[in-house]
Structure 1
Amino acid sequence: MLEINGLTWAVTIGLILVLLAVDLILASVRPHRVGFREASLWSIFYVLIAIAFGVWFASVYGGGAGAEYFAGYIVEKSLSVDNLFVFVIIMTTFAVPEEHQHKVLTFGIVLALVMRAIFIALGATLLALFSFMFLLFGLLLIYTAVQLFRHRNEDPDIENNLVVNTARRIVPVTDQYAGSKIFTRVDGRRLATPLFIVLVAIGGVDLLFALDSIPAVFGVTEEPYIVFTANAFALLGLRALFFLVKGLLDRLVYLSAGLSVILAFIGVKLILHWAHVDIDERVPEVPTPVSLGVILAILVIVTVASLIKTSRDPSAKAHPGSLRANPPAKTGDE
């Protein structure tokens, strides 16, 4: 384990909070449609911030730690793209006005960071106390990979989501948006706007992705600081990336299949590590450079294959995948 002192943690968290504050201020003070140029500049900025941090981290804590950070960052970045698919579906399903999508995304990123911080602390504690957690995490990732591959050509059912339906039953909701308000008054009654349901849906998605992404990044590194920073810098660029690539997401037709392979690979890596520690030291482990190479190779193959497929078949459309089969749509006769 690396010796990360309290000052380093404080400065890192402070930097992340400052970047988040900028996003929140921009979203609330100047609601607007984010164009391609603005999204490109912000995306480049966040990627450069992540790379600069990785270079600093490697120079201070060694090349091995730096490789673990970059491997974790790439894993989280690739998973965040699938997260974007679901965000697009939520925005489309609830017809979120473009000028308010920025605010919704920033909320989603803040909530995702909070959830991931909680899961990171919990996961690090469990791994430190019980080495068999590596086995459980590995099995969880393999199960997730199998489910994602089985339902790779489906979209999650947002309208019939348990969290969304529960929120609708508990809180009365208006039919129309009221600007950027989450709650409004109609005939003296305090009602939630559709924006509230959107935020609830985003929160449910964040929870689901946190349950998958944290075990995945722990498969790359056991250092909580690296897990946290890899997640944080991957998520900070999510808002800009959404506006940059939302028109291109439909072309990544093999992304869900590729992510399922990555999750399965990391799951096997975790199980091998558990066996190496708890059963026999002769059981081989997968080195971090190999993990990094495999993940990058899968992402490159998936991207190239997707672009070739959509160029030959323009009707092909990508899906984020689902962890369970959606119920069949009801017909008019039912």
Structure 2
Amino acid sequence: MLTIVVIVALLALDLVVGTVRPHVVGFREATLWSIFYIAVALVFGVVFAQVVGWEYGAQYFAGYVVEKSLSVDNLFVFVIIMSTFAVPREHQQRVLSFGIIAALVLRAVFIALGAALLSLFSFMFLIFGLLLWTAVQLYRHRDQDPDVENNVLVRSCRRLLPVTDTYDGGRLMTRVRGRREVTPLFVVFIAIGGTDILFALDSIPAVFGVTEEPYIVFVANAFALLGLRALYFLVTGLLDRLVYLSAGLAVILAFIGVKLVLQWGHGIESRIPEITTAVSLAVIGAVLTITTVASMIKSRHDPTARAHAGAVVGSPPRGAGHGNHTDR
């Protein structure tokens, strides 16, 4: 219960900063908030490990690292959405705060469902192992960005609702010639919400591959997401330089997919080996380190190289069907 109170308090703080006082976030402010949220997550992990033991503490840190790395890929898509709809900088905080709240709610629901299914059906580990397919898709489309404007939810919204051409301050709805219409900000919220659903479908099985404890899965997701707003403004200018991030995330998802399959197999035949939390943490850390260093080297030698979010499952990649496919 105390954990929920802490998370809600941090969420309320984030919401107040992002929506009550709309403003353009500078580098210094973004840095301080990012340090704050990472520090809170680390302190929680240390206290949690001392209370319940370092085995569970290691599971929390592994889950946090997985979710944090996946949240960076989330940021790529947020950047694309913001640029596609030309969201004014002073309203971007509000959009991000909404995205974080929606993501937390959706993931809480998916975590509860996932935990219930895993407790009832052991073969769910095998189904979650389909992350291998997601990993292959992400790697295949690592040089593409999702086509936000052709997203099913966005197209449906524009087809069903009258949408204004311009933003009306921070309003979601406004009146044009006496008729109530939604603003582009409403469409942006729809796009963010749809993205949250797609990312939750990937991230929840991924963190269940690190730990089977629903509580750890939830807090790892919560603390990784809470710092997303500040991290967005901190690394927006650096995201393009993480050239190999999508490839690295594909490797991590593939590794966790294999771990889930082995975990299912171990439940049937004890001679089938399991991958320990320590090994998982080491592999994830190594992949992220190699990915980051390789990206920096690539960007330094080739300034024109740009990173991509990778095609999101369920959202066609930008340029699909138009001859712009760029698999390496």
The TM-score with structure 2 as length reference comes to: 0.96
Q: Secondary structure at the match of 2:150?
A: coil
Within 5 Å, which residues of 2 pair with 1:293-308? 293-308=282-297
Look up the match of 2:29: 38
**What's the CA shift string for 1:75-111, capped at 9, x where partnerless?**
0000000000000000000000000000000000000
Select which of 250, 256, 261 maps to 1:266. 256
Select which of 282, 294, 305 maps to 1:316. 305
**What's the CA shift string for 1:118-163, capped at 9, x where partnerless?**
0000000000000000000012x00000000000000000010111
Question: Is 1:64–2:55 an aligned residue pair?
Answer: yes
Output the amino acid matched with 1:219: G
Question: Is 1:328–2:302 an aligned residue pair?
Answer: no
Look up the match of 1:154: 144
Look up the match of 1:115: 106
Runs of 4+ in structure 1 deviating by more than 3 angstroms, as ranges, are 323-326, 328-331
Select which of 1, 4, 7 maps to 1:16. 7
Look up the match of 2:202: 212
CA gap of 1:86–1:188, structure 2 versus 1, over 3 A, is same
Look up the match of 2:234: 244
Within 5 Å, which residues of 2 pair with 1:62-211? 62-139=53-130, 141-211=131-201
Output the amino acid matched with 1:268: V
Could you tell me how far apart the structure 1 residues matched to 2:113 and 2:275 are? 24
**What's the CA shift string for 1:20-77, capped at 9, x where partnerless?**
1111112222110000000000000000000000001000000100000000000000
Look up the match of 1:6: none
Could you tell me how far apart the structure 2 residues matched to 1:25 and 1:210 are? 25
RMSD: 1.1
Q: Secondary structure at the match of 1:155?
A: coil
Please report how far the alpha carbon of residue 328 of structure 1 lies from its aligned counterpart in structure 2 after TM superposition: 3.2
Could you tell me how far apart the structure 2 residues matched to 1:300 and 1:135 are? 29
Identity of aligned residues (%): 68
Output the amino acid matched with 2:301: R
Question: Is 1:50–2:41 an aligned residue pair?
Answer: yes
Q: Secondary structure at the match of 2:149?
A: coil
Number of aligned residue pairs: 320
Please report how far the alpha carbon of residue 329 of structure 1 lies from its aligned counterpart in structure 2 after TM superposition: 3.5
The TM-score with structure 1 as length reference comes to: 0.94
Look up the match of 1:221: 211
CA gap of 1:86–1:45, structure 2 versus 1, over 3 A, is same
Select which of 274, 287, 306 maps to 1:285. 274
Q: Contact 2:139/2:250 (CA < 8 Å) preserved in 1?
A: yes
Q: Contact 2:145/2:317 (CA < 8 Å) preserved in 1?
A: no
Please report how far the alpha carbon of residue 330 of structure 1 lies from its aligned counterpart in structure 2 after TM superposition: 8.6
Question: Is 1:25–2:10 an aligned residue pair?
Answer: no
**What's the CA shift string for 1:231-279, capped at 9, x where partnerless?**
000000000000000000000000000000000000000000000002x
Please list every run of 5 or more consecutive structure 1 residues that lacks an aligned counterpart in the other structure: 1-9
Could you tell me how far apart the structure 1 residues matched to 2:14 and 2:249 are? 28
Q: Secondary structure at the match of 1:191?
A: strand
Please list every run of 5 or more consecutive structure 2 residues that lacks an aligned counterpart in the other structure: none
